[in-house]
Structure formats: C-alpha cells, structure tokens
Structure 1
Amino acid sequence: MSRAMTQRFSFSLAATDGRARTGTISTPRGDIRTPAFMPVGTAATVKAMMPESVAATGADILLGNTYHLMLRPTAERIDRLGGLHKFMNWDKPILTDSGGFQVMSLADLRKLTEKGVTFRSHIDGSKHELTPERSMEIQRLLGSDIVMAFDECPALPADRDRITESMRLSMRWAERSRDAFGDRPGHALFGIQQGGLEQDLRAESAEALTKIGFEGYAIGGLAVGEGQEAMFACLDYAPDQLPVDKPRYLMGVGKPDDIVGAVKRGVDMMDCVLPSRSGRTGQAWTHRGQVNIKNARHADDPRPLDETCSCPACSNYSRAYLHHVFRSGEMISGMLLTWHNLHYYQVIMQGMRDAIASGTFAAWESDFHAKRGEGDIEPI
C-alpha cells in the first residue's frame, strides 16, 4: 500500500501569539509549515521559475488553477501522463482552486444556474460546463493534495441581496462538492466561506460549512476590489468564525503587508500571483519596500537589490545589471526578480513562524513595518 493511502491529511498547532498561529499541515507528499505562502503555478508552472528553484526559496506547496488546466492541456491528458505532480516535476503538495473564480473573471458568455456554470473558453471560444461534481472530477484527475470546493464569488462592491444569494448557492455547491469528493485518504477538501463584508452572512456561511465538515476552510470573496482596510475589518472576525483546529486559507492575498496583517488575524495559508507577476514587470519587494528596477537611478548602481537577501539575484548581480537586462527585454530579468520576490515572501513567512513560536510577533511586526517605512536605499 502506498504512503498516500496510509498517511492521512492532518493539521496541528504548535504555538499561538495573540491570534497569530504557527503549526504544520501534514500530507503524504510532505509537511506544510504554517503560516504558509503558496506560489501560484497557473498553467502547471510558476512563471519564469524551475520547480527546484521554487523549492529552494522555501515553498512547501504550490497552487494550480483548475480552470486553466481543464482548458489546456486538459485534466484528462494530465491524468494519462501521471498526474500534475509528475507532469510539472513537483513532488511536494499541490493545492488546486475550484475554477469558480476564473470562470467568473475570465470566461466569456457565462451562464449561472443552480446546476453550475456554462461558459466559453477565453482561449478558443469552446463551450464548457463546470459544476461541483465536474470540478471535483477535474481536481481528482489532476491528483492535487488539497482540493477546493466549487463556489461562486461575486465581485465587490455588490448589494446585500446579491451577496446573500451567491453565498447560499455556494453553500449548496459546497455540500455537493463534499458528496462528489468521496473518501480519498491522503487528500483534503477545503470549504470556502463567502458572505462579502457582511459579518452575519459570513457567520451563516461558516456554520453551514462546519456542519458539512471539511479538512480545512478558506476565506473567499476578499481581495476582489474592497481595499485593505475593508479586508482587514472582515478578517477581524471571519477567521474566528471557522473551526480553530483546521487550517484557514485566505485566497488570493497578497502584498507583503496584506500577508502580515492576515497572519496577525489568524490566517494560516495564502496565495497570490503578485511576487511572480511583479518580477516579470521589473518590480521587486524588499525589506525596505518596493523597488522599480526599470528606473534610471539604478543604471550605475553596483549594489545588490537587497543587501540582506541571500537569493541569487542579490548574491550575484548588481542593481545596474538587473536594470540593464530588464530594459533590454532579456528573459533572465524576469527569472532573477521572480526568484528574489518568491524568496523574500518565504523569508517573511519564516520570520513570522519564528516570531509566533517565540511569542515575539508584535515586536517582529513593528520592525517589519518600520523597515518598510524607511523606503529604498538612497541613490548613489
């Protein structure tokens, strides 16, 4: 019997500091240290990175996109080729989203019913149907370790009636997702809390999900245009509405200060395309804030991007070189800056894990914001 069949998914808390938590999610493919940041591998790749390079940054888990993979190369093809882990050469855990958010944000001519969503591909216009049952089938074919329930997420701002209707539909779909997921030892299904910025609707959603029962719970419907202040106001109560003994995953977040604020409020897992997307557009995140390497001030600067960073971009190359290759359109620019950004995000996560474990999170957070407040080093 394989290890995947004998080891089950589990979560254990090691320490708390205020509402911040650190612990371990155990899966057959390895442990995930929490709080965890998941780089996004949209189309079975973290753009501009080799899988072993992503692992070298300290990432314990990646995110894959059901919507993109079902359209190209298709889940059935990935299954025939041995599953997503083998296909993309990543032997650590993978979480796949349900496809619902991408259908709402990317697909053309979509039609929403109680059954699910029909839509036309943004790639070639072909027609598809995505239901809770089909989403579970696709994620099973991909072989992901953490599967997300199929949900519907309205963009904010939206009126309360629309948010209520959407949340209750998502809860019915969550139950169908649970039924379709079945018994899969070693794999986990996460439910997704919805309810916009309405505390009572979030509570209703959390109660419905807890009654169904999931291995973990996501906070969905944020980072969709509401702004940081509103998001944090929601996170002041939303995580505490979910079971304390299960992982809490904030979907699609975010900037470094978003992540720190979320962990402070009890979130265990996050994902975002920002560090890789920023890297490809010449933006780097450092402990002193954001750096735009395209700016002319870097053209003659022999110093590293971040003197405290041990990533290849900072260890081996100057700001002048990084500026040059970006302005020249060289591929190495996106590779180096993406590596740096992903490395920096994992440094933040490790810093928070250590601070929570030692009971010094407040001091760590204060230092984090103080350094970012200094801004970038002075030009030469």
Structure 2
Amino acid sequence: MSTLDILPPDEQLVVATVRDFVDKEVKPVVRELEHADTYPEALIERMKELGVFGLAVPEAYGGTPVSTFCYVLLTEELARGWMSLAGAMGGHTVVAKLLQHFGTEEQRRRHLPRMATGETRATMALTEPGGGSDLQALRTVARKDADGYLVNGSKTWITNSRRSGLIALLCKTDPDATPAHRGISLLLVEHGPGLTVSRDLPKLGYKGVESCELTFADHRAPAEALLGGVEGRGFAQIMKGLETGRLQVAARALGVGRAALEDALAYARTRESFGKPIWQHQAIGTYLADMATSLTAARQLTLHAARRADAGHRVDMEAGMAKLFASETAMQIALNALRIHGGHGYSTEFDIERYFRDAPLMIVGEGTNEIQRNVIVSRLVERGGLDV
C-alpha cells in the first residue's frame, strides 16, 4: 500500500491532479523559466484553476479544504516539479489558517472567499533586516490613533510581497510591553500609500517568485485590520501559524529531495562505466541506498507531524523536527545526486544544479535549523520527553 492509499478518495484525486499538472505542465518549462528567473504567470493561473489556493480555506468561505496529511503530499508534488511553485502558495496557506483560527468573522468574510480562488494571494511579513529569527526583537511599530494604525518599519526576504494583495504583518502595537511578546500583534495589511516594495532581492536559488524588502513609512491600516481584534496576541498567533509553515517547508524539502533522487536513479541506470551501469558500482549504489532511506525517513517524520496536527495537537516540536530533518536530508541528497551525475551534475543543462541551489532555502527558511533545534529541546524538556 502506498502513502497515497491512506487518503480518502477525494484527497487522493487532489494529489493525483497536482502530480499530473507537475508532470505535464511544469516539468517541460521549468528549466527555461528558472534560468531566466521569470515569474511563472501561466503556471500560477493554472494553480488557481485547480483550486490550489483554496485548499486551506473552509467550505463556508468558498474553499475546498484538505487534511494536513494531504497538504504535505501535494506540496511535495509541487516542489518535485519546481520548489518555487510550492513557495508561491506557502505563506498564502499560513495566512488562511491564521484567519481561520484567529480572525474575526468580518475578517474571514472579507478575505477568505477571494483567497480561495487566488484572486487575493497572501503572504507573511515577519523577518526584519536586523532581527533574523529573533521575532521578539522586531522594530516595526503600529501606533493606534483615532483613524486606526500608523505603521513604520521594514521587513526583508518577503516572498510574493509584490503580487500578494494581503500581508500578515508582525509588528509592535505596544513597544514598551514587558515581556516583549505581549506587545506584538498581527495586522492584515493591504498595499497602499506609505508601503513601498523594493526590487527583487538576488538569490542563489528559489527563482521565479519575488523576495523583496518592504518599507512602511506612515502607512495607514484601519483598526479592523488587527487580526482577531485584540492587541498583544500576535506572537502566539504567528507561532501557531509557523507550525503549518514549517510543515510546508519540510514538504518542499521532500519534493526537492525526491526529484534529485529520481533523476540520480534514472541516470545511474542508464549511464555506464567499465562495462556496466554505474549503479552496480558499490560507491554509487551506496549513495542511492542511503538517499532512498533518508528520504523515506524524512517523509514519515513529516507525515507523523501532519497526523498529529490533524488530530488537533500542538505540533511545534514535531513540525520543527520534520523541517530540520527533511531540509538537511534534501541538501545531502542533492549533493549526492550531483556526485552521481559527475560533471553533468554541475551543468545547467541538467536539473541537478537547480536542486542543489534550491535545497539550502529550506535549511534557513521559516526559522533556521539552529532555531529548530532550540524549539525541539525546549519542548522536549517541557513535555518531559518524547510521547511514545
């Protein structure tokens, strides 16, 4: 029985549809788009048509929600074709979950129906130029007055920031609060005067989708933009959202690792040296065996976290483990795939070099792996050990 067989028939169809989209529409064009660093407008439109942007939106607001387990598998499929496509819907999904869990009914009615169709795409704005992973040290401030909030500050490395119509902005509504997290809130910001989006930041990989710096200079946000309507809850809200985000990043890593393994296996079966396929040489065979074993372990760890999330459990530790292990696994698999391909692996005419450039993003994105280790050990101590 395959992993897909565990899903109900409707969710199996969703994953199969995305897999078909990747094989028939993404793979034939990805190398050209990626090398040109071209925004994949046509592919994004097809993702809208397929309902991908509504998979985390409740039916009551026009979505077709799927389980976290299913979401992990379809994200893996997208990333297998092109990791950037999975990134194009990553933050969008987290914002949809934030609205579902913490938004007011008015906020849900305003944003979720348009997010379900992809008419409105959403992203998160957390990282600041001087803050990195220390979210409590943020300096973006939203001061309340009679007309709502006046926002000043900057964010960096914000994916989809130019094309997303809704930005979940982490900011301080009470800069003097002690401890600091009590003064942090999330605002649902839309583009307008006082919000400037920079040029696309140059990147090693993760091409096609934009990552920019945002500058807020007396940007006006209405009072009803405050997620949930109560100040000071933003840090807890975003920590919950990052559970989904880290599972999504883990699933992206699975997709990159799987693509690299599939390409390496195909190459090793057809490439010959010393009169036999290179997979029959012990060094190459060992690489392939280890790659398949570690990828399988990473997938099971990620799906374990997804199951717990679907059961309603807190999964910050499990999502951290999945993100940590899957991303390190993808990086190692990409490196070994390059070794197997030899000189061809270093050529831009093969996809291996793309996997090798894309894999590091999952190591540093959505909280670095060093931060994941801090989260894991903190929760491990708090829980008194593993739940076995």
TM-score (structure 1 length as normaliser): 0.29
Q: Which has the higher helix share?
A: 2
TM-score (structure 2 length as normaliser): 0.28
